[in-house]
């Protein structure tokens, strides 16, 4: 009997004695490949830390002491966490400005502008940029932006003493290990999103006021406060907490803007009355903004644009805007924000000169005002538009800033040269010493304008040099990792062909025997020798351990491919001997697969592609079914309508608006879908087009009331959505009994599917109902409807495959009186893969990505809606909250994978073989994303490109984990026994 395998037709001639041996070999190979795949993707994911996320921190530089008198004796830094620039500067609905004191400062005392943050716009990276002057060491993300993976210098380190009060997540980062500091934080329990968090800002001010009051009775404290180079840092968290909980358009958030303005006024009056020497500088800013939906993290202007107001000692007074546009002399490191953009008219500040800065520029500004050395790792540029100094002192300040950045460049150059066998220097700075000498000569000649120009040029070159060494190994690593991915995909294809397909003649058996005897040893010896040479070179260059891992993984995989040389050669001879129609069919499959995967790549930036995809697929699939099976079966119409229904969701905004009524209605929709599925499971089994997926046992179910209990829990979860949200909105707190009930409903409902009947439709229906309560409780809007729509499409997929299976059996029956050959099967219930089976992993990839992007752009950090978790927890707990958000994201994935597992059982194809094809498809996309990663342009573009690569790489790993998890629910699914017996009946 001929079977259309991936490589065509063959008559199986494997002897019975060889079958167990072959099966054992396949099992061992599968386990080995899964382990290898997890390790490979984990290692290659880490490559982005070496290519793009390598720590910018180096040690061993000398401090650059400024050669000018400090204009200020002390400095106050006020950071309003999560304060958007527009909400700070714009008036309210009555025309009154929310920050009257700081507006008065802008108009009469100091300078203002917008500070541009760089993604990730999170609290820790923002504060590091402000206080230490560099963009966060990316390895800190592995510690939740909390602990310092590498110790770094900051303005606080250089101060004589630092006083700080605020959040337990921020203040200890900078003061926890600082001996010359006085600091305190409130407990984590104070950060409750169900309350008005402005009291946290009052707490910080009260602590500082108490300190000043105590100094009148404490001579030691009084002396400490009177010394120079004193820094006061108040971290005001209220806007961030209120923005997350109530949105930045809420009255609570907007009132918090007034609170921080009032605190700034009280701090100013308190210190001016305390010191009476006009030697205090004040800086008011924010670490990041807040998106309209109450989140932050990405590069949207609402997150990156923060207010900056500077006044006091050493700060220029306001200037009117002159006819000549203010030139943007601020040099840029990597971000490409537009500085000094037109000021919105509603701010009523367009007549006052505005000076925008990069967020990291604030650190050298603080150092200059206090006359301190700049933090040694700072990449900020001193914004001269803020400082009020003599022309000679301005040049000296810029020169000190330049030397500090140049010292970093020289240190990185020295480290790289000492490690490299083939060192390539940064040529533009080959004569940096002569440029420094020239600047000194110009200073001696009092040609300050020329000295300033040359200093700024040298600083710009030093920043470019830092970037050069930051990406020194980029091309080498990219080439090696790309080769590694290609080798992995080739090896994966070879395994699928050998283990899960029919091959012509005895290629597999013969080539395996020959390979084991001769070819394997030579290839492995060559691979080991080559790896030894590479390891020695890497060791001599003192390369990081991961470099060895990248090279070792790639060389190992190519060695394994060389082991298959004779098999590949025989395969090539076979393909050359086939008819042209077969080769065209094979190429067409490859082209179609690549086109689909390329569309999925572009869908990461354009979600509307899914809308067109499901509109077209729904129409084509229904027409195809209409020609194959009777229209009155209802299946063609059902497939078309469900695809079109799902297509609507990728047209909706990624920022999900609150709509609890829609969530409640979704609960009703889920129950209706469940009831329909239950009725079909019991009544439609006699229909030949539902044959095999319905409950075929007429015996009494194990748990007769299970369906009713699951439907009750779905309805109860809808009620709890209403009760929890209403109570929290009115009382500003989450009731304990509501919280406990929500946890119980979510947890208990996910256990119940394990006790359902093991028919395909009945089990999937139970899984759908079981995961609905936790998803509804974590929903705030239209994503709850998406859950039902996705479930309907998954049923449509199963019905489509079941119809194809029926048509295939009918065709086989009419073409031949023989039943399907037993040799077409790998094992009792699993057949060989065919060319047409490639549609299964491709469909899975589309649905898996729709589950990912169906209700928003989850490639962006800001797409996670934190208010989704407020029915379970309101007290700030980043890891628990993140866990709940990720779990919500995983629920649609679980549905897709359960449907995928059920289809592999229905079609009797090897699930692990299909899994390897899924990995293959994922890695085609991963390689594309790897090449789309950018190291130029805005940080939003860079961050998105890296997150896309990371998502696809991680997808391969967590698909495996989800397969293991969903296997708990799907392992005992039984296909209707007649579906297999039909091979004989037909």
Which of 339, 281, 331, 372 is closest to 77 using CA atoms? 281
Residue 805 has pLDDT above 60, yes or no: yes
pLDDT in tens, 394-439: 999 999 999 999 999 999 999 888 888 888 999 999 999 999 999 9
Quote the DSSP letter at residue 120.
Answer: S
Burial class (CB in 10 A: 0-12, 13-18, 19+), 781: buried
3-state secondary structure of 72: coil
Crossing angle of helices 545-563 and 565-577, in 10° steps, is 50
Are 426 and 465 within 8 A, CB to CB?
Answer: yes
pLDDT digits (tens, 9 = 90+) for 888-947: 888 998 999 999 999 998 888 888 888 899 999 999 999 998 888 775 544 456 667 777
Tokens of 16: 């019975």
Could you tell me if 241 and 200 are in contact, meaning their C-beta atoms sit under 8 angstroms apart? yes
Note the pLDDT of residue 18: 52
Strand 825-827, strand 74-80: pairing: unpaired
How many residues are listed for the chain in this entry?
986
**pLDDT of 89 strictly over 80:** yes
In terms of phi and psi (left: phi > 0; alpha: psi -120 to 50; beta: otherwise), the region of 542 is left
Q: Read off the pLDDT band of 16 (50, 70, 90).
A: very low
* Least confident window among 72-76, 151-155, 847-851, 880-884: 880-884
User: Which contiguous run of DSSP H or E holds residue 30?
Assistant: helix 18-51
pLDDT above 90 (res 584): no
Give the pLDDT confidence of 626-649 residue by residue, as tens digits: 887 776 677 888 899 999 999 988
CA distances from 685 to 296, 633, 637, 976 (A): 51, 13, 19, 9
How far, in Å, CA of 677 to CA of 796, rounded?
12
Q: What is the pLDDT of residue 686?
A: 57
Which neighbouring-strand residues pair with 312? 281
Nearest of 353, 454, 443, 433 to residue 393 by alpha carbon: 443
- Distance, in Å, from the CA atom of 645 to the CA atom of 660, rounded to the nearest integer, reads 21
pLDDT digits (tens, 9 = 90+) for 31-45: 888 888 888 988 888
* Cis amide bond preceding 120, omega within 30: yes
270-327 pLDDT tens trace: 999 999 999 999 999 999 999 988 888 777 889 889 999 999 999 999 999 875 544 4
* Domains of the chain from N-terminus onward: 74-388 (3.40.720.10), 656-788+824-971 (no CATH)
Partners of 588 in the β-ladder: none
Angle at which helices 565-577 and 507-514 cross, to 10° = 150
Using CB atoms within 10 A of its CB, is residue 825 exposed (0-12), middle (13-18) or buried (19+)?
middle
Bridge partners for 370 per DSSP: none
Print burial letters for 151-162: b (CB count within 10 Å at least 16), e (below 16): ebbbbbbbbebb
pLDDT at 679: 83
- Whether 986 shows a pLDDT value over 80: the answer reads no
Confidence of residue 982 (pLDDT cuts 50, 70, 90): very low
Closest CA to 824 of 948, 983, 674, 637: 983
Q: Among candidates 127, 124, 141, 118, which has minimal Cα distance to 55?
A: 141
CB 121 within 8 Å of CB 363? no
Calpha distance 939→117 (Å, rounded):
10
Whether residue 138 has pLDDT greater than 60: no
Predicted confidence at residue 192, as pLDDT, reads: 80
3-state helix, strand, coil in the chain (%, to 5): 65, 5, 30
Quick one: average pLDDT of 500-509? 59
Mean pLDDT of 721-726: 80
User: Phi/psi of residue 400, each to 5°?
Assistant: -65, -40
Query: 640, 888, 922, 908: which is closest to 783 by C-alpha?
Result: 888
pLDDT at 390: 93
Percent of the chain at pLDDT > 90 equals 43
Rounded CA gap, 243 and 198, in Å? 11
The answer on pLDDT for 14 being more than 50 is no
Helices 783-815 and 660-683, axial angle in degrees (round to 10) = 20
Give the model confidence (pLDDT) of 842-898 as tens digits: 999 999 988 877 665 444 444 455 666 777 877 767 778 878 887 888 899 899 999
The reported pLDDT for the residue numbered 940 is 58
The residue among 35 and 726 whose pLDDT is bigger is 35
Position with higher pLDDT, 204 vs 964: 204
pLDDT tens, position by position, 782-802? 888 999 999 999 999 998 988
Quick one: which of 489, 507, 488 has its CA closest to 498? 507
Question: What pLDDT does 603 receive?
Answer: 87
Confidence at 695, pLDDT banded by 50, 70, 90: low
- Judge whether residue 726 has pLDDT over 90: no
- pLDDT at position 50 is 79
Least confident of 73-87, 124-138, 486-500, 950-964: 950-964
Closest CA to 405 of 449, 345, 460, 342: 460
Cα 934 off chain centre by: 16
Using DSSP, how many helices (H) and how many strands (E) does the chain show?
Answer: 33, 10
Q: Please list, in sequence order, all residues whose beta carbon lies within 8 angstroms of the beta carbon of residue 141, skipping any fewer than 6 positions away.
A: 120
Mean local confidence (pLDDT), 330-343? 54
Distance between CA 242 and CA 296 in Å, rounded? Answer: 13
User: Contact 767/895 with Cβ under 8 angstroms?
Assistant: yes
Q: Tell if the pTM clears 0.85, that is, is over it.
A: no
- Where does 778-910 have alpha helices with state H? 783-815, 839-853, 878-907
517: which DSSP letter? I
Q: How far is Cα 504 from Cα 567, in angstroms, rounded to an integer?
A: 12
Sheet holding 280-285, edge to edge: 181-185, 161-166, 230-236, 74-80, 280-285, 305-312, 111-116, 357-358
Tell me how far CA of residue 970 lies from CA of 447, 710, 767, in angstroms.
Answer: 80, 18, 9
Looking at residues 77-86, what average pLDDT do you find?
Answer: 96
Can you read off the two tokens belonging to residue 127?
């504060």
Instruction: State in Å, rounded, how far the first CA of the chain is from the last one.
Output: 15
* Partners of 305 in the β-ladder: 116
427-452: average pLDDT: 93
What pLDDT, on a 0 to 100 scale, did the predictor assign at position 933? 76
Give the per-residue pLDDT at 91: 93
Residue 682 scores a pLDDT above 80: no
Q: Give me 494's structure tokens.
A: 């070879």
Distance CA 870, CA 774 (A): 13
Q: Tell me the C-alpha distance between 111 and 555, whole Å.
A: 59
Q: Which residues pair with 163 in a beta bridge?
A: 182, 232
E-only strand ranges, 144-225? 161-166, 181-185
Residue 151 has pLDDT above 60, yes or no: yes
DSSP string covering 950-981, please? HHHHHHHHHHHHHHHHHHHHHTT-B--HHHHH
State percent of the chain over pLDDT 70: 83
- Which regions of 353-457 does DSSP assign to beta strands (E)? 357-358
Average pLDDT, the chain: 83
Residues 6 or more apart whose CB falls under 8 angstroms from that of 679 comprise none
Determine which of 189-198, 513-522, 880-889, 926-935 has the lowest per-residue pLDDT on average: 513-522
Separation CA 693–CA 935 (nearest Å): 51
**Positive or negative CA dihedral for 211, 214, 215, 220?**
negative
Beta strands of 140-202 (E only): which ranges? 161-166, 181-185
Average pLDDT over residues 675-687: 74
Residue 13 has pLDDT above 70, yes or no: no
Block residue for tokens 């893969």: 833
Q: What is the mean pLDDT of residues 802-822?
A: 62
């Amino acid at each position: 009997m001929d079977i259309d395998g991936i490589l065509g037709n063959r008559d199986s001639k494997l002897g019975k004695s060889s079958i167990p041996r072959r099966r054992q070999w396949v099992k061992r190979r599968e386990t080995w490949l899964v382990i290898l795949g997890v390790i490979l993707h984990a290692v290659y994911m880490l490559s982005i830390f070496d290519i793009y996320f390598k720590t910018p921190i180096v040690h061993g530089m000398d401090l650059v002491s400024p050669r000018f008198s400090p204009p200020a004796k002390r400095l106050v830094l006020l950071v309003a966490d999560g304060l958007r620039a527009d909400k700070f500067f714009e008036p309210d609905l009555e025309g009154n400005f929310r920050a009257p004191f700081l507006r008065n400062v802008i108009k009469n005392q100091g300078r203002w502008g917008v500070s541009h943050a760089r993604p990730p716009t999170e609290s820790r990276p923002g504060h590091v940029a402000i206080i230490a002057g560099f963009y966060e060491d990316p390895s800190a993300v592995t510690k939740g932006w909390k602990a310092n993976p590498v110790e770094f210098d900051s303005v606080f380190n250089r101060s004589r003493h630092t006083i700080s009060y605020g959040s337990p997540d921020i203040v200890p980062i900078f003061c926890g290990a600082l001996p010359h500091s006085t600091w305190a934080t409130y407990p984590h329990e104070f950060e409750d999103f169900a309350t008005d968090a402005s009291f946290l800002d009052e707490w910080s001010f009260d602590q500082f006021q108490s300190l000043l009051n105590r100094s009148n009775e404490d001579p030691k404290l009084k002396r400490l406060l009177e010394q120079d180079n004193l820094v006061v840092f108040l971290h005001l968290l209220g806007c961030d907490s209120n923005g997350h909980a109530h949105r930045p358009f809420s009255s609570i958030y907007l009132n918090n803007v007034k609170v921080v303005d009032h605190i700034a006024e009280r701090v100013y009056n308190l210190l001016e009355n305390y010191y009476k020497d006009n030697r205090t500088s004040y800086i008011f800013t924010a670490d990041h903004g807040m998106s309209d939906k109450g989140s932050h993290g990405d590069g949207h202007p609402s997150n990156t644009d923060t207010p900056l107001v500077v006044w006091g000692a050493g700060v220029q007074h306001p200037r009117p805007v002159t006819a000549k546009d203010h030139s943007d002399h601020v040099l840029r490191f990597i971000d490409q924000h537009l500085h000094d953009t037109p000021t919105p008219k509603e701010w009523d500040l367009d007549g006052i000169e505005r000076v925008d800065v990069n967020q990291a520029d604030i650190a050298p500004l603080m150092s200059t005002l206090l006359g301190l050395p700049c933090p040694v790792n700072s990449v900020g540029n001193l914004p001269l538009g803020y400082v009020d100094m003599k022309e000679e002192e301005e040049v000296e300040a810029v020169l000190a800033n330049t030397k500090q950045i140049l010292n970093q460049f020289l240190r990185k150059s020295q480290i790289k040269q000492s490690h490299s066998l083939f060192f390539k220097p940064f040529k533009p700075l080959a004569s940096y010493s002569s440029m420094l000498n020239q600047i000194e000569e110009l200073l001696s000649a009092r040609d300050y304008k020329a000295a300033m120009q040359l200093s700024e040029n040298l600083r710009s070159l030093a920043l470019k040099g830092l970037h050069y060494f930051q990406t020194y190994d980029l091309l080498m690593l990219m080439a090696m990792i790309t080769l590694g991915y290609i080798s992995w995909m080739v090896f994966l294809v070879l395994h699928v062909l050998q283990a899960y397909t029919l091959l012509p003649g005895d290629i597999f058996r013969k080539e395996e025997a020959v390979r084991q005897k001769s070819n394997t040893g030579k290839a492995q010896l060559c691979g080991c020798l080559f790896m030894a040479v590479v390891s020695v070179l890497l060791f001599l260059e003192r390369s990081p351990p991961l470099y060895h891992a990248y090279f070792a993984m790639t060389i190992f995989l190519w060695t394994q491919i060389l082991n298959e040389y004779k098999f590949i050669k025989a395969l090539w001879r076979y393909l050359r001997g086939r008819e042209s129609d077969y080769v065209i069919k094979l190429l067409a499959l490859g082209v179609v697969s690549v086109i689909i995967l390329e569309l999925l790549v572009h869908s990461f930036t354009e979600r509307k592609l899914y809308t067109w995809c499901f509109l077209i697929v729904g129409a084509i699939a229904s027409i195809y079914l209409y020609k194959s099976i009777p229209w009155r079966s209802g299946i063609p119409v059902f497939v078309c309508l469900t695809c079109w229904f799902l297509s609507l969701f990728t047209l909706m905004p990624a920022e999900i608006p609150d709509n609890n009524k829609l969530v409640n209605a979704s609960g009703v929709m889920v129950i209706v879908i469940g009831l329909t599925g239950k009725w079909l499971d019991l009544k439609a089994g006699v229909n030949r087009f539902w044959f095999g997926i319905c409950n075929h046992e007429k015996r009494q179910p194990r748990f007769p009331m299970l369906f009713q209990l699951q439907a009750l829990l779905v309805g109860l979860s809808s009620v709890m959505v209403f009760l929890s949200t209403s109570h929290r909105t009115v009382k500003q707190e989450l009731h304990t009994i509501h919280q406990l009930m929500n946890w119980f409903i979510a947890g208990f409902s996910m256990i119940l599917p394990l006790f359902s009947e093991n028919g395909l439709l009945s089990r999937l229906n139970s899984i759908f109902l079981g995961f609905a309560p936790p998803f509804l409780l974590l929903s705030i809007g239209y994503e709850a409807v998406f859950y039902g729509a996705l479930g309907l499409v998954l049923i449509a997929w199963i019905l489509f495959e079941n119809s194809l299976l029926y048509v295939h059996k009918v065709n086989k029956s009419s073409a031949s009186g023989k039943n399907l050959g037993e040799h077409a099967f790998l094992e009792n219930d699993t057949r060989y893969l065919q060319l047409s089976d490639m549609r299964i992993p491709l469909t899975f990839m589309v649905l898996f990505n729709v589950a990912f992007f169906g209700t928003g752009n989850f490639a962006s950090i800001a797409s996670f809606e934190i208010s989704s978790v407020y029915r379970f927890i309101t007290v700030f707990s980043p890891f628990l909250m993140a866990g709940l958000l990720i779990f919500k994201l995983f629920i649609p994935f679980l549905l897709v994978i359960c449907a995928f597992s059920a289809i592999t059982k229905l079609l009797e194809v090897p699930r692990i073989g299909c899994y390897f094809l899924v990995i293959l498809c994922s890695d085609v996309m991963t390689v594309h994303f790897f090449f789309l990663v950018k190291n130029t342009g805005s940080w939003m573009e860079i961050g998105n490109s890296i997150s896309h690569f990371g998502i696809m790489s991680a997808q391969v790993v967590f698909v495996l984990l989800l397969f293991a998890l969903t296997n708990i629910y799907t392992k005992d699914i039984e296909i209707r026994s007649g579906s297999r017996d039909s091979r004989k009946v037909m």
